[in-house]
Chain A
Amino acid sequence: MAVEAAGRDATGRGSTRQRNDNNAMDTGQLERFMTKQWLRTFLVLLVGSVVLAGCAGTGTQRQPTEPSEEPVETPDTTTAPVAPPAQTPEVDENRNPYIPGTTRLMDRVFYFGFDQSVLSPDDLATLEMHATFLRNNPDRSIVIEGHADERGTREYNLALGERRADSIRSFLVSAGVSPRQMEIVSYGEERPEDPGHDESAWSRNRRAVLIYR
């Protein structure tokens, strides 16, 4: 299974967490996957993008593209079940949610630009999936960790990390998740994913991480 997360961050490197989670799909792949699977199956039933977004959890801002005939890198999409059978687990042994109908975990790490706390449009589809899962599982809760790179003072970075976590929380609240299901914590620059001191490390350290409890 491919584990690269091209387009995820400026360096084109996937995060350690992503690798560990064996979380294969980047958002581009995800979108194509969603489009292909759900559109192919439900095209007649679906009236518009809003319904699609609601069902499949793709980004609400996005118009579904026409069914793609180009080869999709995602393996075995043709054999994926049309509708998830009842026995497909929703979560893994660590209680992290799978992308519905697959055995791939939802991406839980989201990256940010330098000194920025604005969500990348590429992350919205994944966050919608988390929102759907949390809405459907009101007993589950998450901690949203915010992190910063090492540039700037430590205390200031604590605030920046919190803003990043808060961006995610605000998005999930707007997507209908109860605030009671979420807590945010900032680690500032204190818990780098990559301990290096260059742009490649910094881009991996400016992040927010969803931790399912």
Chain B
Amino acid sequence: MSGKAVLILLLTAVFLPAGAGAAESLDTIIIDEGYDKQTRIAVVPFQKGPEFAGEAEMADIVAFDLSRSGQFAPLERDNMLSLPGRPEQVLFRDWRVLGMEYVVIGNLQTQSSGDTRVRFWLFDVVNGRQMLAGEVTGTRAQWRDMAHEIADDLFEAITGIRGAFATKILYVLSQNAGSPAARYSLEMADSDGERSRTLVSSDQPIMSPSWAPDGRRVAYVTWQNDRQIIVVLDLTTGQRETYSRFSGINGSPVFSPDGRSLVMVLSRDGNPEIYVMNLADRSLRRLTRHYAIDTEPSFSPDGRYVIFTSDRVGAPQIYRIELATNELERLTWEGGYNARARLLPDGRHLVYVHRRNGRDYIAWHDLERDDVRVLTGTSLGQDESPSLAPNGTMLMYATLDRGRGILAVVSIDGRVKYRLPSSSGDVREPAWSPYLDFRML
């Protein structure tokens, strides 16, 4: 793989004066690597010249990506018997002795342009063969991007599933809540919580961030002059445009899979209802007509359906409406509180907030077998806002840890968990980006 296109974020317009600098990155604390049999892999430190001495060890970033998936157990560097940097230096018996199934090597070179070129190889130790040879290039500022792209390639070569490490997350940071100095910001970070930066900062609450499918635009909700508004931020131009400022609720914006419309909640007709707005001409199509609360809509991956939460039976449950026919179907029947659902990329599984014994957990629901499983059952039960990685293998959600809002990740089978606390304040409402075909700078 060569260097990806670079998207320069022009966000100067939304940065705030004094005191609103970039927040600190999120930390990662792995709680539970629940797999009995993890793939044993050695990611050998990449061979490099002294000019790279000040940079983070790329192999460590790669290994940490793989280990966070829960499916890999990377070998400690101290246990390695040799440190090959080129294919001909790999001695399979060194790795067989250590019980490794795979070994990854790489080396770094400075090109005449000043960019760094990283070449890497993946070997199947058991069968003694090379599985993958690749390269990425980039600047020092793209160091972590390159490492995540390598991890994506390795993950796909071994598991057959496209990697989602070189993705971003959005989240809301709240500081000094409940005081006149309350501050809210929309943050963006790498999927591992590193390199966070502030996109929007305000004394008004910010909520419901969501990505356009191209990863170049972001929709969110805030308030202006006592009105709730839906804003679309163009990451490439830094331009913010208000798309909805009706009387009442203007909430829950989620892009359609083609990026041309937003599904949203408006209460302009007196009650929260689901609407689809065509972004080109801002025309609205109303999908629901019910005196109940209808909210939290999102599209199915094929764009044929909108799923949403409604309390029309007296308690919130998940429904699905087919856009072509307006046919309505109730999807959840287990429990008295099911809300804020998102469909997996396969369109056949849901994740949502599920209340059990008065506590809120994230549940996974197989729609064909009508099988419901709680994924976050070991938590304290204050979980919300599930957001799926684009490959559907992991989901990020918001929870409380000792009274503080933090982000957490759980694998879609519930076996792997890690947390991303912030030292800067309460964090919440994570939104995992789609696959990105560019790097953001």
Are A and B part of the same complex?
Answer: yes
Q: Is the beta-carbon distance between A159 and B226 smaller than 8 angstroms?
A: no
B223 interfacial by beta-carbon distance below 8 Å:
yes
Whether A156 touches B309, Cβ cut-off 8 Å, given contacts A162-B248, A192-B178, is yes
B154 interfacial by beta-carbon distance below 8 Å:
no
In B224-242, the 8 Å CB interface with A consists of 226-228
Q: How many A residues touch B, CB cutoff 8 Å?
A: 28
Q: Is the beta-carbon distance between B178 and A159 smaller than 8 angstroms?
A: no
Q: Is the beta-carbon distance between B249 and A154 smaller than 8 angstroms?
A: no
Q: Is the beta-carbon distance between A156 and B247 smaller than 8 angstroms?
A: no
Q: Is the beta-carbon distance between A159 and B293 smaller than 8 angstroms?
A: yes
CB of B180, distance to nearest CB on chain A (Å) = 10
In B164-189, the 8 Å CB interface with A consists of 177-179, 182, 184
Chain B residues closer than 8 Å to A192, beta-carbon distance: 177-178
Q: Is the beta-carbon distance between A156 and B339 smaller than 8 angstroms?
A: yes
* Contacting residue for B228 out of A152, A153, A185, A193, CB 8 A: A185
Interface string of A30-73 (1 = CB under 8 A from B): 00000000000000000000000000000000000000000000
A-B interface contact total, Cβ < 8 Å: 89
Q: Is the beta-carbon distance between B337 and A187 smaller than 8 angstroms?
A: no
Whether A155 touches B340, Cβ cut-off 8 Å, given contacts A185-B226, A191-B182, is yes
Whether A155 touches B226, Cβ cut-off 8 Å, given contacts A187-B205, A192-B177, A193-B178, is no
A184 interfacial by beta-carbon distance below 8 Å:
yes
Whether A158 touches B249, Cβ cut-off 8 Å, given contacts A191-B182, A197-B403, is yes
CB of B340, distance to nearest CB on chain A (Å) = 5
Of chain A, the residue at the smallest CB distance from B294 is: A159
* Contacting residue for B384 out of A153, A163, A184, A185, CB 8 A: A153
Q: How many B residues touch A, CB cutoff 8 Å?
A: 37
Interface centre among A152, A154, A196 (most CB of B within 10 A): A154
Q: Is the beta-carbon distance between B400 and A197 smaller than 8 angstroms?
A: yes
Q: Is the beta-carbon distance between A184 and B205 smaller than 8 angstroms?
A: no
Chain A residues closer than 8 Å to B382, beta-carbon distance: 197
* Contacting residue for A183 out of B226, B295, B311, B339, CB 8 A: B226
Of chain A, the residue at the smallest CB distance from B206 is: A190
A143 interfacial by beta-carbon distance below 8 Å:
yes
Interface string of A145-179 (1 = CB under 8 A from B): 10000011111101110110000000000000000
Of chain B, the residue at the smallest CB distance from A144 is: B226
Q: Is the beta-carbon distance between B295 and A156 smaller than 8 angstroms?
A: yes
A27 interfacial by beta-carbon distance below 8 Å:
no
Q: Is the beta-carbon distance between A195 and B177 smaller than 8 angstroms?
A: yes
CB of B202, distance to nearest CB on chain A (Å) = 11
Q: Is the beta-carbon distance between B205 and A155 smaller than 8 angstroms?
A: no
Chain A residues closer than 8 Å to B190, beta-carbon distance: none
Q: Is the beta-carbon distance between B295 and A155 smaller than 8 angstroms?
A: yes
In A108-159, the 8 Å CB interface with B consists of 143, 145, 151-156, 158-159
CB of B355, distance to nearest CB on chain A (Å) = 8
Q: Is the beta-carbon distance between B295 and A195 smaller than 8 angstroms?
A: no
Chain B residues closer than 8 Å to A190, beta-carbon distance: 184, 205, 207
Q: Is the beta-carbon distance between B223 and A185 smaller than 8 angstroms?
A: yes
Q: Is the beta-carbon distance between B178 and A155 smaller than 8 angstroms?
A: no
Binding site for A on B (CB under 8 A): 177-179, 182, 184, 205, 207-208, 223, 226-228, 247-249, 251-252, 265, 267, 272, 293, 295-296, 309, 311, 316, 337, 339-340, 353, 360, 382, 384-385, 400, 403, 429
Please provide the 3 A-B residue pairs with the shortest distance between their CB atoms, ordered closest to farther.
A190-B205, A195-B178, A159-B293
Binding site for B on A (CB under 8 A): 143, 145, 151-156, 158-160, 162-163, 183-188, 190-197, 211
* Sample of 20 A–B contacts (CB below 8 Å): A152-B360, A153-B309, A153-B339, A155-B251, A155-B265, A155-B295, A155-B296, A156-B293, A158-B228, A162-B248, A162-B249, A162-B267, A185-B226, A186-B249, A188-B207, A190-B205, A191-B177, A191-B182, A194-B178, A195-B177
Known: A155-B265, A158-B295, A191-B177. 18 other contacts (CB 8 A): A143-B226, A145-B226, A153-B353, A154-B208, A154-B384, A155-B252, A156-B309, A156-B311, A156-B339, A156-B340, A158-B228, A159-B265, A159-B267, A162-B267, A185-B227, A185-B228, A186-B228, A190-B184
